[in-house]
Structure 1
Amino acid sequence: MGDDPSLGTIGLRVEGLVEPQPITPGTVKRIIPYAKRHRRSLAIVMLATVVDSVITVSIPLFFKKIIDDGIVPGKTSVVFGLAAFVAGLALLNVVAIYAQTWFSGRVGQGLIFDLRTKVFAHVQRQPLAFFTRTQTGSLVSRLNTDVVGAEQALTTLLSQSLSTVLTLVLVLGAMFYLSWPITVAALVLIPVFFLPGKIIADRLERLARGGMQTDAELGSMMNERFNVSGAMLVKLYGRPDEEAADFARKAGKVRDIAISMAVHARLLFILVSLLTTITTAMVYGFGGWFVIDGKLQIGTLVAMVALLLMLYNPINQLTNIQVDIMTALVSFDRVFEVLDLKPIISERPGARALPAPASHNGNGTAPHVEFDRVAFRYPAAEEVSLSSLESVPLRKTEQGENALVLSEVSFHAPAGRLTALVGPSGAGKTTITHLVPRLYDPTSGTVRIGGHDVRDLTLGSLQDTVGVVTQDAHLFHDTIRSNLLYARPDATEPEVIEACEAARIWPTISQLPDGLDTVVGDRGYRLSGGEKQRLAIARLLLKSPPIVVLDEATAHLDSESELAIQRALKTALTGRTSLVIAHRLSTIHDADQILVIDEGRIQERGTHDQLIAGGGLYSELYRTQFAQQRDFGIAEPVKSTVADSGNRALG
């Protein structure tokens, strides 16, 4: 370690340490409500702390009496009586310390629960743009490292602060009572040690903030490399030596900060130890002189030395409390930073629910979808994220307003009909589908469902109304059953099986040893792409929403699987308002209308035959992207009637 130049001089200098950042004003006031929720436990902690402090300070005074009133005059009964009383006090102190520890733990864990649940719920309300920018590891660090750090510092402060101040007052009172000249002499050197203590505490505050940030960066790297997608990318394209070097650099920074914090904390201990030794020697010198001259009893000198040792413990704690306070405030500051990030997608006051969606048997009238002169630009980074949650600092090009992705988009998706979106990559098709379930809000214009502006609707009713299957279906690391029930927790097992049959995935599931209780693995990677996609479709069928948005859910399937899924989807889309991004020939043939998107605008609209006859952009796209599928016999339009299993799943 001594040969490593990155450590700096005895580990005190850390390269790349974050710049000093003041604690946000009002942080202390915001902590108080969290503490108030546990006021009963806090009251017991404080009462136990008072008992502990009083007993701790009183014991040396009883030792004085044992020596001066019992041992010196030779009174055995006084010695045994006072010794037994001191033993009883010690037992009572054990009870007080136990109560203090127990209820302090209740307060601490309660605080962790309160903060974690609040931050988790708040993060869940953030828009999709927040998650596209934020490093998962950095975000998780706020719920783990920072919340725990805040709890540890706060619970330590709650018990330690009262104990320290009370012990200090009682010890000083007892010392002045026994011998004020020696007490004054013992206190002379104390102010000399407070200035270096303040300097060290300020340095430790910066190190604490830097340590939290570097821990988050290291956690983010591990999170990205240890999931299946990241591990596969590293194995296919990564350079192991460079990966190891990058990890070592981040881990080295964490190490350097930890060493520096340990050294600075040790310096505080060294200063206090030096102060204790010097003043103890001073007390023995003056006290011994007074005893020899007959001005002080031997028992009083013993009690003074014992009290002196108690005096410097709270003085040491006062210095450490400075550090603990800064650490707690930094931790709370980082947690509140997340809580202060306002979601840009939220319910308006008085938002109303859409009429209940069609029942799960598929009956009912689906609402239409309308885009009215919609323009959209993705929100700027500072609107949806925090720089401390992104490992790469924002570039100037990422700040301020982004370019328009959609411009003057107007169309009407008829109720119960299929509208296909076609266009080159990056044209804005996916962005249009994201506006329907209100993953984003339009910059201008209006998106309506059933004639209602989606911004005037409750988010819950909107979620119940719109069902989405993305091209890259996501599954949680859980059982197949749990992943399916995520869409509709009250579904019965027969309904789950019917949805799986309709999605043509039940034969696969039924052959698995654990059936529906099979764990799919991280992001569903234990299943093939086609199996994941069919599970996602089964999940959609189970939810049975009146509006369906598909980002070409069959894109990852082979032609045989796709043919089966197209039949299931044809039933799934029947009677439902459907908005589908088309990558397959079969989709555009089945569409009631086709919207051709290019450069964020609708360039053409109509049926397949109308657009082919027009000879415009669609005709060109058809020749380059779709006609070759026909030439290779991939997924021709489904002419046959739907299978009975599809009918059963949807009633």
Structure 2
Amino acid sequence: MATRPPGPRRFLTEEERNNKPEITKELIFRILSYLKPYRLQFIFVFIAIVASSIIGLWPSIITGRIVDEALTGQNLALLVRLLLLAFVTLVGSQFIITMESYINAWISHKIIYDMKNQMYRHLILMPQSFFLGEKQGDIITRMNSDIGGVSAIISGTLTSIVSHAIVVLTTLVAVFLMNWKLALVGVVVIPIIIIPSRQVGRTRWKLLSESQQKSDEMNQIINETLSISGSLLVKLFTKEEKEIEKFDQANQELTEIAMKEERSGRFFRVMMGLFAQIGPLLIYFAGGYMLIRQVDDALTVGVITSTVILINRLYRPIQMLLNVKVDFVRSVALFSRIFEYFDRPSDVKNPEDPQKPELKTTEVVFDEVRFSYRLGIDTVKEISFQVDDGSMVAIVGPSGSGKSTIINLIPRLYDVDEGAVRIGGVDVRDMDLTYLRNLVGFVSQDTYLFNGTIRENLLYAKEDATQEELEEACRIADLHEFIVNQPDGYNTLVGNRGLKLSGGEKQRVSIARVVLKDPKILVLDEATSSLDSISESSIQKSLELVMKHRTNIVIAHRLSTVLAADQIVVIDKGMLVEKGRHDELLAGGGIYKQLFDTQFEKVLEDASSYC
């Protein structure tokens, strides 16, 4: 028996999901790694920020000259020249800012494009266990809201940090060069501004986590109740008011959290505004004192005026940097949510040295297979049976016994925890995934069609199929006549999940799709269980044509299918309890006999046509 280590746990616990991310150097570098492909553009943004910051100093400095030289000296020509120079510097600064803003927006949209592609590729390659354990609302939130929020981070938070830091640095240099004494007076209030920021940051972090959780809940409600199937269920059980109440509750809680977050920052903004006004008053007092007392001969009214303007220019970036510090926490939380998905491991992936063997036979062997969706709770236990090349095996058993799980192990929708599934003597885990899944064709009772045309849904199996191939596949599936009688023929729209078609028509599309795929192994998962007897009989004939010259595994609920099987495998509580032909199992008086008495006997009269 081939034994491999048990697969990893497939579902995160609530405790794991609620762990707060730590702001580490590795996390910051990981965030910045998304800028690497656009580093040249970002260097341009950085240069533009530096240039606009330096040029932006000149209007303030020129104002001092206007006061000291043009106004005091009553020099009109100099006043005009200085005003024109100030205007030119303002225009130049705004032009550079506009260019920087455009390039920055371009970078952020490109990063969103990259991340969405990366996320979609990562998620679509995840095993089925991921989609069983994850709410669809969470997936949509990650793909849209979270990644979409990256734009604000790149063009807002990240650029603000760089821009405001450079403005602060250049302004400090300029103000100290003008008059270091007044500069010290102006910056004395800066340390006081920092005090409230830490508490506000912790509060907003907590509120953000709650907000994201409520947002996920709302997305889940919307996704479940406003889908076609969900809205139908709501109506049939008259739960409209109940669902409205649930949505209103979630919406109200989300609104309250948003208001709390707004209140948490309001005091912070009031304090920042107050301290920003104190600085200039202190400068006027200190400058006036030194000017009146003639403490500093180099000090002029123009210098005082320029210093006040520059200090005002200094406070706003400092306030923004402190706000950015608070927003940075939110940004890290956003990236952490995205990375949490990226870091979900896929336990079903291509082997390091994938095989594409030339199979002489397509026999399928289950060798002591054990599998569990959750750690410690086996769904399938020590299953062993063989499906000979070109034969048909019927799998029967009570609902929930593990029949669908068994067949899902063949194309590696899940990987076995112990034992092996082999095709033609080769372990499926050693095969190339694409090659393996091309070997297997599925027809299930829950036929899924994309919201497009019949042609588009058929071409999903074979993109380069000709019209003749489409028609031949549809004739085998007894679908061609139905299609040509439609006004749009093969371009007939099927609707969301194929709901414009009947159950039998959807099944025929599914069968035709498998015919186009032309697999060597055919798996039927109760493919006709939801149909009426007339539709089932018609589709059964189509299936018989498709099953010829293939290895077939059928989860059976119809006696006719069971009687036609070369071997019957009986599953109960995840274990193989019986196997053999119909007469042998019936004589054994075991579980199969019970199933026969409760499920099959009522259709015994239909068996003669299949014996």
Instruction: Give the TM-score taking structure 1 as reference length.
Output: 0.86
Q: Give the structure 1 partner of residue 519 of structure 2.
A: 545
Q: 1:132/1:20 Cα in 2 relative to 1: closer, same or farther (>3 Å)?
A: closer
Distance 1:240 1:196 in 2: 46
1:341 paired with 2:344, answer: yes
Distance 1:636 1:431 in 2: 31
Paired amino acid for 1:221: I
Q: 1:317/1:636 Cα in 2 relative to 1: closer, same or farther (>3 Å)?
A: farther
1:458 paired with 2:432, answer: yes
Distance 2:318 2:105 in 1: 25
Q: 1:68/1:39 Cα in 2 relative to 1: closer, same or farther (>3 Å)?
A: same
Paired residues of 1:371 and 1:446 also in contact (CA < 8 A)? yes
Q: 1:266/1:57 Cα in 2 relative to 1: closer, same or farther (>3 Å)?
A: farther
1:370 paired with 2:359, answer: no
CA shift for structure 1 position 260: 1.8
Paired amino acid for 2:577: Q
Secondary structure (helix, strand or coil) at the match of 1:282 reads helix
1:501 paired with 2:475, answer: yes
Distance 1:313 1:415 in 2: 77
For residue 319 of structure 1, the aligned residue among 319, 322, 328 is: 322
Secondary structure (helix, strand or coil) at the match of 1:548 reads strand
Paired amino acid for 2:544: K
Paired amino acid for 1:303: S
Paired residues of 1:41 and 1:106 also in contact (CA < 8 A)? no
Secondary structure (helix, strand or coil) at the match of 1:489 reads coil
Q: Give the structure 1 partner of residue 416 of structure 2.
A: 442
Secondary structure (helix, strand or coil) at the match of 2:379 reads strand
CA shift for structure 1 position 22: 4.2
CA shift for structure 1 position 19: 7.7
CA shift for structure 1 position 136: 0.4
Q: How does 1:488-567 map to 2 (within 5 A)?
A: 488-567=462-541
CA shift for structure 1 position 491: 1.4
CA shift for structure 1 position 307: 1.0
Paired amino acid for 1:593: Q
Percent identical residues: 35
1:553-573 Cα deviation digits (max 9, x unpaired): 112222222222122111111
Q: Give the structure 2 partner of residue 649 of structure 1.
A: none
Secondary structure (helix, strand or coil) at the match of 1:37 reads helix
CA shift for structure 1 position 238: 5.0
1:297 paired with 2:300, answer: yes
Distance 2:339 2:401 in 1: 38
Q: Give the structure 2 partner of residue 420 of structure 1.
A: 394
* Unaligned runs of at least 5 residues, structure 2: 1-16
Distance 2:36 2:467 in 1: 46
Q: Give the structure 2 partner of residue 124 of structure 1.
A: 124
CA shift for structure 1 position 24: 5.6
CA shift for structure 1 position 292: 5.1
Q: Give the structure 2 partner of residue 244 of structure 1.
A: 244
Distance 2:114 2:371 in 1: 37
Distance 2:112 2:514 in 1: 36
CA shift for structure 1 position 288: 4.0
Alignment coverage as a number of residue pairs: 591
CA shift for structure 1 position 255: 0.6
Distance 1:366 1:625 in 2: 34
CA shift for structure 1 position 579: 0.3
Paired residues of 1:478 and 1:519 also in contact (CA < 8 A)? yes
1:607-628 Cα deviation digits (max 9, x unpaired): 2233334444323322321121
Q: Give the structure 1 partner of residue 265 of structure 2.
A: 265
Q: Give the structure 1 partner of residue 596 of structure 2.
A: 622
Secondary structure (helix, strand or coil) at the match of 2:519 reads coil
Q: How does 1:55-66 map to 2 (within 5 A)?
A: 55-66=55-66
1:409 paired with 2:383, answer: yes
Q: 1:137/1:20 Cα in 2 relative to 1: closer, same or farther (>3 Å)?
A: closer
Paired amino acid for 1:117: N
Paired residues of 1:585 and 1:637 also in contact (CA < 8 A)? no
Paired amino acid for 1:102: Y
Q: Give the structure 2 partner of residue 390 of structure 1.
A: none
Q: 1:20/1:298 Cα in 2 relative to 1: closer, same or farther (>3 Å)?
A: farther
Paired amino acid for 2:323: N
Distance 1:20 1:615 in 2: 54
For residue 353 of structure 2, the aligned residue among 350, 354, 373 is: 350
1:96 paired with 2:96, answer: yes
CA shift for structure 1 position 74: 2.2
Q: 1:636/1:217 Cα in 2 relative to 1: closer, same or farther (>3 Å)?
A: farther
Q: Which stretch of structure 1 is more off in the superposition, 568-577 or 76-85?
A: 76-85
Paired residues of 1:567 and 1:638 also in contact (CA < 8 A)? no
1:233-288 Cα deviation digits (max 9, x unpaired): 21122533332222122111211121122223333321211111222222233334
Q: Give the structure 1 partner of residue 12 of structure 2.
A: none
Q: 1:446/1:614 Cα in 2 relative to 1: closer, same or farther (>3 Å)?
A: same
CA shift for structure 1 position 68: 1.8
Instruction: Give the TM-score taking structure 2 as reference length.
Output: 0.92
Q: Give the structure 2 partner of residue 393 of structure 1.
A: none
Q: Give the structure 1 partner of residue 8 of structure 2.
A: none
Secondary structure (helix, strand or coil) at the match of 1:38 reads helix
Secondary structure (helix, strand or coil) at the match of 2:569 reads strand
